[in-house]
Amino acid sequence: MIKKNKNNKLSPDLIIDFFITGRCDMKCPFCYGADNPIDNQNIKEINSQEVFLYKPSIETINITGLNESRPELTFDQITKLLITFAELGLKKINIGGGEPLLRKDTPEIIKIANNLDISVYLSTNGTYLSTRYKEIKDNIKVLGLPLDGSNKKMNNLMGRASYMIDNVKSILVYLDKEKPDHKIKIGTIVSKINIDDIENIGVLLYETPGISHPDIWRIYQFEKIERGENNAKRYEIDDQKFWSVINHLKKRFPQANIAPRANSDHNNAYFFVSPDGMLQLVDNKHRSILDTNNANKEDIYETITKFQKTIKKTINNREWTIK
C-alpha cells in the first residue's frame, strides 16, 4: 500500500529527465545520455511517425520478460505519460536525449508540458536551435547548452563536434539581442584535457561584450560512466583538482552563478525516462526500474517514492534550474 502522502502527489520540487530520443549528431566520448538506436534501424510508421528501435538492457529484460528491441515512445505515448505525471503533481521536467530537437514533434511535446503546468528545461547541443527556437522559446523556462572549451581546438580535443562552439556563440549573440524570458544555462565538463582552459571559458561567457551572459554556469566533474568509462584515462580528474577549479572560478567570476556538480552528487541522484519508456536510475550506468508503457499512475508513484534518497538528491542537484 502507498503511504507516502494522503494525496499520492510527488514533490513539486522533483524533476524528471525525459530522454525523448537517443539520436544525436555528435558522439561525445563522455556522454551518459540515452543509448543510440540500434544501428539507426527504424520501423515505419506509427501514426505517421518514424519510430527508432532500442536494445533492451538486462534490467529491462528482467522487468518486461521480453528480450526484443523496443520502439522509441510515440508522441501519443509521451503525451499520456506527461498527463500522468501532471496528475501526480510533477511540476518540472528536463527534456534531453540524444539531441531532443532531432524529433520533429519536440516543440509540441514542450508545449503540451507547459499547458499541463509543467516547467520545461530543454537540454540541447544547439545544432538545430536556430531553425527551431521560435517554436519552443515561449514554452521553456531554462535553455541548456554545452561549452567545454574557449576555442574550437579545445572543443575538438574534448571530443565535441568542430561546429559546436560557433553554434553556441552565435546563439548567445542572438539571445543578447532578443532578451528571452527563459533562463540560459551553460554546462561545462571539467577534465584533464580542458582543466587549464576553464577560466578562459568564463572570460568568454561573462566578460565578452555582445553575448548573453548565462544565468547559470553548471560545471561538472568528468565522470567515468557509460561512454566515459572507456575514456577515463584521457579525461578523469580527482575531487581535489575539481574543487580547486571551482573555488578559483568563484573568486575570478563573482558575478557568475556557478553551480558545481561533483561525481559524488551524481550517483543515484536522477530519475530518467528512456527513449523507449523505461523509468531509470543511474549509478555507473542507467538502470531500469519500471516500464512506464505498462504502468498506471499508482505504479509510477509507488516506484518513485521507494527511492526517497534519490528524490532528495535530485531536488538538491536541480535547485538551480527552475524557481
CA distance 127 to 101: 9
Q: What is the pLDDT of residue 232?
A: 75
| More confident position, 231 or 15 | 15
Across residues 255-269, what is the average pLDDT? Answer: 89
How many helices, marked H, and strands, marked E, lie in the chain? 11, 13
Across residues 64-72, what is the average pLDDT? Answer: 94
pLDDT band at 318 (very low <50, low <70, confident <90, very high): confident
The separation between CA 157 and the C-alpha centre of its own chain, rounded to angstroms, equals 22
Task: Please say if the pLDDT value at position 4 is more than 70.
Answer: no
Helix/strand/coil percentages in the chain, nearest 5: 40, 20, 40
Count other Cβ atoms within 10 Å, centred on residue 27.
11
pLDDT band at 226 (very low <50, low <70, confident <90, very high): low
Q: Give the end-to-end CA distance of the chain in Å, rounded to a whole number.
A: 33
Share of the chain above pLDDT 70, in %: 93
Across residues 7-16, what is the average pLDDT? Answer: 92
pLDDT per position as a tens digit, 279-297: 999 887 789 999 999 999 9
Across residues 69-74, what is the average pLDDT? Answer: 94
Task: Please say if the pLDDT value at position 6 is more than 60.
Answer: no
Task: Please say if the pLDDT value at position 44 is more than 70.
Answer: no
Q: Quick check: helix, strand or coil at residue 44?
A: strand
Least confident of 2-11, 209-218, 244-253, 307-316: 2-11
Q: What is the pLDDT of residue 221?
A: 92
pLDDT per position as a tens digit, 177-197: 999 999 999 999 999 999 999
Sheet architecture: strand order including 142-146: 258-261, 216-221, 183-190, 142-146, 119-123, 92-96, 15-19, 272-273, 278-282, 286-291
pLDDT per position as a tens digit, 103-121: 999 999 999 999 999 999 9
Share of the chain above pLDDT 90, in %: 76
Beta strands in the chain (DSSP E): 15-19, 42-46, 49-54, 70-71, 92-96, 119-123, 142-146, 183-190, 216-221, 258-261, 272-273, 278-282, 286-291
Across residues 307-318, what is the average pLDDT? Answer: 91
Return the CATH superfamily for domain 15-317: Aldolase class I (3.20.20.70)
Q: Where in the chain are the domains? A: 15-317
HSE-CB at 153 with a 13 A cutoff on CA atoms is 1
Least confident of 9-23, 35-49, 71-85, 174-188: 35-49
Cβ 223 vs Cβ 192: under 8 Å:
no
Across residues 9-31, what is the average pLDDT? Answer: 91
DSSP state of 33: S
CA distance 14 to 318: 8
pTM of the model: 0.93
